Structure 1
């Protein structure tokens, strides 16, 4: 879907940048890396603290390598998100390979709803491309930004290919309504958010630390019965990703959250630079 004339004018600086070819965008990302990491040192203390605690077995040199790779990847995500304003479906299909589409296609044929239990891993922003691959109404739940201009920009980016963005505070009611209306949909929830103090939470071991997890996804799965799926990204090279889906099931000995944590931690340990280490994930303590 092309941007409207009004959207092009309103977000003209970002629209103009998005028209640039990917090699030029990655040159911009390289410059951005120097500014973010070397000059501004954006959340460097948070990143280093998180990495040291997550990988106590790693040397200082190894931690530094992961840190640099993470900041490079973070800047790549920024320009890749802006590119969403003008990227074509043809180019998307060259850059995002779905390794096991049959998993979701099978649920789609059965008219079974899907709960995409995602994380800040790989390029999570590219999950908004899933409507290109799967003909199922798609929703994602997000926390609105305080800045109205940038909030609208991100909504424009995320909704361009058919995803509908719903404010997180309306998420549960939206999913219950979908269930009551017998709708077959795909909802995306980011599961590695840090809960607020008053939110319902459960404490689990994650990356060598006691970590608070929101219980919403588990409650939604229990009440509405969707297929719960974890999307795992692998970065092949700059601007090229593979996405593989894993079913997250409750068993007699483990909850959906337990199995989500296992999948996420395995993914992080394989490619630590692809997770959002600048996020204050452990700001709560048990």
Structure 2
């Protein structure tokens, strides 16, 4: 598809920022990103409102407005640090990428690989997700990752090439289920972020509120006896992360409490994400309408 003049302009602006961020001292880049976070917190009223609605739904009165505002600001900072990871990890060496993180509970992944189990890595838009995916793919083998195409075809092409360089196969979100099936048959493991708003899906609870969630990971796990391994890149500081690996959700070992195994497995995955968000809430991407399906009116600004 031929790119428009506007798309070329955005592409060249992006490439210019990428060049600057690559060669500027990293301490200086960090301060620029912190300044951008402060500006976004002050002037981005729409997304600040969305984040506040989400925090009210998640924590109700368990956190004060001051605490919630601090979380929103830190969430902007985390997002911008993660965007830097998106830019930098397209071109750095595997060794430099690994140097930015340590991994906890790695034996969960190693055991699954040793047992030759198929693996579904689940994560969220949390901390350095643009580090967690290439880190996992480069260290443990090719990953098929569910992702939505970027609107700008020029930037999307750059993104796909970078993913390929980092041992990642891109799966179009619209046909994710078929893509994951194909990936398993080709001997790849898969990875998907499962924390965003969905118009349709399996109805579950998230922070005690109704949401829709994808059940494709649960169905795939049951069909292939695959293990579901939650991973999160917890940000310690700029370019400094801990890859946190949770215990595997194994459909062969789960003691199911209800007849609907798919629903229970889907809920178990959401529970892990909720647990991690509660541990360090400022690292989640609060600026999207996670509860829109059932609480649409709350997101409207007066």
TM-score by length of 2: 0.82
Match of residue 49 from structure 2: 45
Q: Distance in 2 between matches of 1:21 and 1:162?
A: 28
Structure 1 match to 2:136: 130
Question: 2:197 pairs with 187, 194, 197, which one?
Answer: 194
Alpha carbons of 1:117 and 1:258: their partners in 2 closer, same or farther (altered >3 Å)?
same
Which structure has the highest helix share of the two? 2
CA distance, structure 2, for counterparts of residue 150 and residue 210 of structure 1:
35
Runs of 5+ unmatched residues, structure 2: 1-10, 259-263, 296-302
After TM superposition, give the deviation of residue 37 of structure 1 in Å. Answer: 2.1
- Per-residue CA deviations over 1:121-170 (Å, capped at 9, x if unaligned) read 22111112223221x22110111122212322332443331111111223
Shift of the alpha carbon at 1:35? Answer: 3.2
Aligned match of 1:102 in 103, 107, 129?
A: 107
> Contact between 1:117 and 1:228, CA under 8 Å: does it hold in 2?
yes
- Contact 1:26 / 1:79 at 8 angstroms: preserved in 2? no
Matched, 1:29 2:30: no
Alignment of 1:240-251 (within 5 A): 240-246=240-246, 247-249=248-250, 250-251=254-255
Q: Which residue of the partner structure matches residue 4 of structure 1?
A: none
Could you tell me which runs of 5 or more consecutive residues in structure 1 were left unpaired when the two chains were aligned: 1-7
Report matched runs for 1:192-271 at 5 Å.
192-196=195-199, 199=200, 201-246=201-246, 247-249=248-250, 250-253=254-257, 255-271=264-280
Could you tell me how far apart the structure 1 residues matched to 2:134 and 2:125 are?
14
CA positional deviation for 1:38: 2.0
CA distance in 2, matches of 1:155, 1:207: 34
The root-mean-square deviation of aligned C-alpha atoms, in Å, is: 2.3
Q: What is the deviation of 1:44?
A: 1.1
The CA distance in 2 between the partners of 1:46 and 1:10, in whole Å, is 28
SS in structure 1 of the partner of residue 267 of structure 2? helix
- Number of equivalenced pairs: 273
Change (3 A) 1:39 1:103: same
Question: TM (normalized to structure 1)?
Answer: 0.86
Q: 1:59: Cα distance to partner?
A: 1.1
Structure 2 residue 159 is the aligned partner of structure 1 residue 154: yes
Kindly indicate whether the alpha-carbon contact (under 8 Å) linking 1:18 and 1:86 is maintained by their aligned counterparts in 2: no
Give the deviation of 1:42 after TM superposition.
5.5
What is the distance in 2 between the residues matched to 1:33 and 1:64?
13
Correspondence 1:175 to 2:184: no
Q: Which secondary structure does the structure 1 equivalent of 2:294 belong to?
A: coil
Q: Partners of 2:135 and 2:190 in 1: how far apart?
A: 13
Give distance in 2, aligned partners of 1:184 and 1:156. 21
Cα pair distance change 1:248/1:63, threshold 3 Å: same
In the aligned structure 1, how far is the partner of 2:13 from the partner of 2:234?
34
